[in-house]
Structure 1
Amino acid sequence: MTVRRCAAALAAATAVLGGTAPAAFADGTPSPAAVPPGLYGAKDPTYDGVFRQSLAFLAQQKADVRPADQAVAWLTGQQCADGAFMSFRADTGKACDAAKLDTNATSAAVQALGALGGHSDAVKKGIGWLKSVQQDDGGWPYTPGMGGSDANSTAIVIGALAAAGEKPADVKSAKAGKTPFDALLTFALPCDDPAGAGAFAFQPDPKTQKLYANADATAAAVTGSLGKGLTATAGPADTKGAACEKATTPEQAAHNGAAQLARTLAPTGFLKSAMPGATDQPDFGNTADAVVALAADGMPQQAKASADWLAKNASAWAKENGPAAYAQLVFAADATGSDPKNFGGTDLIKALNATGPAPQAASASSSPSAADTSESKNDDGISVWWIVAVGLLAGIGVGFLISGRRKNQQL
C-alpha cells in the first residue's frame, strides 16, 4: 500500500485507537524532520529514513551502481550500539531509544550493507540483535516488546538472515525452539477459508484470534517462506497450478499464498488499496511486492502481466513517492526479466539516483572483495496502533514493509 499524507488517514487511525491525535498532528500531518545530507528522498524521514535508504542501495546494486560514500556513511551512522536500527535517528550522538528499535529497518539495512560489502561487522551486529529479540513463536514484531509477531516483520527478518549467510530454519527461539518458518505458518489461512484460501494474515485479530487475508502480508510471507529477501529473483517453476493444499511446510504455504495472489491479480493486474475509506484504486507498492513474490515462487505468467501493468501505470506514483517506490519497481522489473532502465519508458535507476547524492563513478563501482561476498550470498494496542497512526501519515511510497508492517488491515 502507498502511504499517504491525509487528514482522513489520521482520522481513521485515531478512530481505531479510540482516542485523539497529539497536538503535533492537529493539522493532519506530522511535524516534519529535516532531511539530512546523504539521505535519499526529500520527504520527512522520521518513519522510513533507514528503510528507504536501504531499498535505494539494494535497487542500485541491481544495476551495479555504487552509492556515494556520504550516503553509505549516513546509513552506517544510524546503527545503534547494540546492532539495531531505529526508523530514523535525528541525533546520532544520543543513545537509541529502546522503545523505537525497528526490526524492519534493521533487516533492510542488514540486506543493504551485506550487498554493498565491506560492512561485515555492522551486518553481524544487526543479525545478533535480531536473534536476541526473536519471540517464543519463532517470529518478530515490528517493535520488540510491543505486541506479537507479525507476518511482514518475520518475513523481512528471514531475508536478512539469509543475506547474512544464516540458515533461517536453524534460528530458533530460546524457550520454545520455534523457527521463523514455524511463525509464518501460523499466519497462513486454511484452504477452506471462503474469503482468502491460502493467503496470509498480518496477525490474528486481537479480539477473536481469527485470521483475515491480507495481500500485503501475503506478498511478504510468500517471499519469506521461500527463504528469500527483498531482492528475490525468479525461482523454479511452481507446477502445482492454482490448487490450494494443506500447508505443513513453508514451501506449501508459499505456493498457496502465491496462488491466492495470482487469483486476486488476474482480473485487473493490480491489487486494490486497503486504505480506510478508499475506493477501488490501485495499490502500486503492494502490486510490485506481489510481482516479486509470484516470480520467487515460480509463477512467471501473472508476475509478468502485473509487471507490465506497473510499467504502463506506475511512473507518476514512483515520482511522487520517491526512492523506496522506485526501488520496489526495480525489484519487480528485475524479478520478471524486465529492464529497470527502460520500464515503461522510465529509467528507474536514473530516477532513483536523482533522489540522493550522486553515486560513485563507474570506475569506483567495483564488486565487493572476496572477503565480503559472504554477506551478499549469504499489542498492547495503544503503542503498536500509534505506530499505525503515524505510519499512515508518513507520506512514504513503500509497499509491504512500510504499509503492512504498521497496520493490521483486513482485506
Structure 2
Amino acid sequence: MSEGFTESYPETVIRPVFLVDRSVFLSYSAYIRRILVGLSSGTARVSALVCPACTDPQAILCPSVERIEHPTLRLPIFWSQNRKVLLDQLLRFKPTILHTFYPGQVHLAHWLSKQLQLPFVATCHKKSSRWSCFERTIHHAAKIVAPSKPIADHLAETSPGLKGRIERIHIGSFVEDHCSCFSRGGDVASLIAVHPLSSLKIFAPFLNAVRHLVLDGFEVMVAIMGVGKAEKAIRAHIRKLGLTSVVTVVPPIRPMRSVLGGADVYLHLSDSGAFDAQLLEAMAVGLAVVGVPETTSGLLHDSQTAAFWDSHDELNIYGCLKNVLGQREKSRQLAQNSQAYLRNHNSVSQMVDKLTNTYIQAQQHHKQSLKPPDETPASPLPSSPG
C-alpha cells in the first residue's frame, strides 16, 4: 500500500487496534480494559481488539470496542490464511495505529504495520534478553511503552538504539477508598498468593513457616491461586505438614479484584521478572504485601509499601509473617501506604492521557516519514540559552 490510514484522518484522531494473545489477556485483562474504556471517553471513540476466540470477551470489552478473533482457523498450517483474514478485517476497520503487548503479537504487529503502512506501539511488561527475537523486531516499533522505571532503564541499557522511543507509562489502577487489610475483625487472618505452581521450592519454605505459625496458635487461612506442573507436589507437601484445613490450592478466579478484596495479606512469593498485575490490584484494594523483593514493577519498598523476607530462610519468613499477623495496626498502615503510593504514581487518568499523547506522536512522526523529502518541513533550530 502506498499510504497508511493516517493519511485519511487528522493527526489527533486515534483509531487504535490492540493485538493481544491469550497469555497477555489472562495476565493484564483489567489493565487493557481500563485503557479501552479510558480511550473511548477521550479522543479514540472506536477501538478494535484482536484476540483469540478462547478468551472471555466480557472481561475486557466495552461498547465502543470491536472484537476481532485471531486466529480464525486454529491450526498452525493456516497461519498465512489467518493473517490474510485479519488484514481484510483491519482494512475495513481503518485503524490509525497498532498496539501490541510483549510477549504477545510483536511479530504480527510488525507485519501488519508494513501491510497497512501504520506505526505500531509495543508495551514491554518484562525485562527481555538482549539477544531475544523480540529485541530484533522491537526496533521497528514507533514507540516502546515501559510500565515501570526498572523496565524502562533495562530497555535503555540493553538496547541503546531504543532510548529515544521509550515512554514510561505506569499501569493505572483504581484505588479503593476502603482498606481491606484486617478490616473485618475476628481472629482469623486470610492470606492469598497468586502464583504459577511451577516449583515446590518456591512454596515449601513458606508452607513450613505457616505450619510453625499454626503451632504457635495463630489462626490463618491461606489461598494459593495458580496452576502448573508442581501442583501435585505442592498438594502432597501441604498434606505432609497437616495443613489441609488451613491451605487451599485453587485455579485463578476472575475477576481477580473481587477475590483479593476478601483477604488481608498478599503474598509475593517470587520475582518473576515481569510486571505483576495481581500485585498492583492487591495493593489497590488495600492488602498488606509481604514476601520477596522485586525488581520489575518498582511498587514494593521495604517497610513502606511491603515487608520483605528471605525466601531461602524459613525462620526469616516465619518472623516476618508473625510480625504482620501480630501487629495488625502496623500492617494496615503498610496497606494504606501502598494505596497512597498508587494514587500518586498509578492513576488511570494519567495512564490514558500519556498513552493518547504517545499515539498522537507516533502517528505524526509516521505521517512525516511518508512525505517526500522536499515536503518534509525542516526541523527548527534549537533556541539559544537565555
**TM-score band, normalised by shorter chain:** under 0.3
Q: TM-score scaled by structure 2?
A: 0.26
Larger relative contact order, structure 1 or 2 (CA cutoff 8 Å, min sep 6): 1
Q: TM-score scaled by structure 1?
A: 0.25
Higher radius of gyration, 1 or 2: 2
